[in-house]
Amino acid sequence: MSKSGDKHRLLLKNMSGVVEDGEMLLVLGRPGAGCSTLLRVLGNHRKTYRRIDGSVSYGGLTPEEVAKSYRGQVAYNAEEDMHHPTLTVRQTLDFAIRCKMPSTRMLKDRSGYKVEFLDTLLDMYGLAGCADTIVGNAFLRGVSGGERKRVSIAEQVASGASVDVWDGSTRGLDSSSALDYVRSLRITTDVLRKSTVVSIYQASENIYELFDKVMVVDEGRQLYFGPVSGAVAYFESLGIQKPLRQTTADFLTGVTQLGERRIVPGFEDRAPRSAEDFERMWIESTHRSIVMQQVSAFEKQVQEDARGHEIREFVDQTKMGAESNRLRRRSPYTSTIPYQFIQLFRRETAIMWGSRYTLAFRTAYQLIFAAIVGALFNQLPETTDGAFLRSGVLFFALLFSTLVAQAEMVAAVSGRLVTYKQKSLSMFHPGVLALVQTVADMVPNFITIALFSLILYEAAGLAQTAGQFFAFLLFLFSGCLCLTAMF
pLDDT tops 90 at residue 224: yes
Look at residue 328 in the predicted model and tell me its pLDDT.
53
pLDDT tops 50 at residue 164: yes
- The beta strand positions in 105-180, using DSSP E, are 163-167
Nearest to 171 by CA among 252, 39, 100, 79: 79
Q: Which of 70-84, 100-114, 122-136, 457-471 has the lowest mean pLDDT?
A: 100-114
pLDDT confidence bin for 1, thresholds 50/70/90: very low
pLDDT tops 80 at residue 387: no
Angle, alpha carbons 199-204-208 (nearest 5°): 60
- Looking at this protein, which amino acid is placed at residue 35? C
pLDDT tops 80 at residue 444: yes
List b or e across 255-269, with b for residues whose CB sees 16 or more CB atoms inside 10 angstroms: bbeeeebeeeeeeee
- Looking at this protein, which amino acid is placed at residue 349? T
CB 164 within 8 A of CB 194: yes
| Three-class secondary structure of residue 222 per DSSP | strand
Between CA 94 and CA 301 the distance in angstroms is 37
pLDDT confidence bin for 207, thresholds 50/70/90: very high
Alpha carbon 444 to chain centroid, angstroms: 29
Look at residue 211 in the predicted model and tell me its pLDDT.
94
Between CA 51 and CA 49 the distance in angstroms is 6
pLDDT confidence bin for 19, thresholds 50/70/90: very high
pLDDT tens sequence across 103-144: 666 666 777 878 888 888 888 888 888 999 999 887 888 888
pLDDT tops 60 at residue 321: no
Between CA 239 and CA 237 the distance in angstroms is 5
pTM above 0.85, yes or no: no
pLDDT tens sequence across 229-284: 999 999 988 888 888 888 999 889 888 887 777 888 888 778 888 889 889 999 99
Q: How far is CA 298 from CA 80, 204, 401, in A?
A: 33, 31, 62
Nearest to 49 by CA among 38, 57, 60: 38
Q: How far is CA 311 from CA 162, 194, 317, in A?
A: 10, 13, 10
CB 421 within 8 A of CB 326: no
Instruction: Give percent of the chain above pLDDT 70.
Output: 91
**Which run of H or of E encompasses 295?**
helix 286-305
Q: Which of 133-147, 355-369, 371-385, 439-453 has the lowest mean pLDDT?
A: 371-385
- Looking at this protein, which amino acid is placed at residue 362? R
pLDDT confidence bin for 306, thresholds 50/70/90: low
Look at residue 3 in the predicted model and tell me its pLDDT.
43
pLDDT confidence bin for 4, thresholds 50/70/90: very low
Nearest to 261 by CA among 288, 232, 298, 289: 232
How much is the average pLDDT of 382-402? 79
